[in-house]
Amino acid sequence: DPRIDARTGRKLNPSEVFVRKHQAAADIAEKATGIPAANILGQAALESGWGKREIRTKDGSNSHNLFGIKATSNWTGKVAEVTTTEYIGGVARKVTAKFRAYDSYADAFKDHARLLSQSPRYSQAVAQADSVRAYAQGLQRGGYATDPAYADKLTQVINTALRLQQRSA
């Protein structure tokens, strides 16, 4: 049972289960980008509510999009169209948006790594990835999310992911 720590027999909380489930994919993304796995896990956790708010496709299947990456006009893969909250002029509004859909979580982590490492919008965040706060602020400045409190929220969740990683090491 993935919800039980094999060494101690202790029941894991949902956040611990999330980190353990996605640690290997985050480690691969770290090797590809230089972005610490905890930063990547923290962003996946924030965007998906620790896996509780995963984006579903029209037929109800999982999009595996843990990062809330939108399907812009250059995206040629599958999509999931859902209602989401966007901040427009600082005001939260419900809008319908298209998000990328993947065949697996591994594909989502690979695409996220590619997006961050290849987009000039996020070069500052990637360059400062050794500082959780600077990384989060760089993503917000690059326009990763419209939430004006995104950097603060992301910093907090990455720090939680770091603690959970240390606990399971």
Q: Which residues are tagged catalytic?
A: 86, 111
**Cβ burial, residue 50 (10 Å; 0-12/13-18/19+):** buried
Cα(112)–Cα(81) distance, rounded to whole angstroms?
19
Contact 45, 161 (CB under 8 A): yes
| Predicted structure pTM score | 0.91
Is residue 68 very low, low, confident or very high in pLDDT (cuts 50, 70, 90)?
very high
Q: What is the pLDDT of residues 79-127, one digit of tens each?
A: 999 988 889 888 999 999 999 999 999 999 999 999 999 999 999 999 9
- Indicate whether 166 pLDDT > 90: no
Residue 30 has a pLDDT of 96
Q: What is the pLDDT of residues 8-40, one digit of tens each?
A: 888 988 999 999 999 999 999 999 999 999 999
Crossing angle for the helix pair 37-48 and 14-33, to the nearest 10 degrees: 130
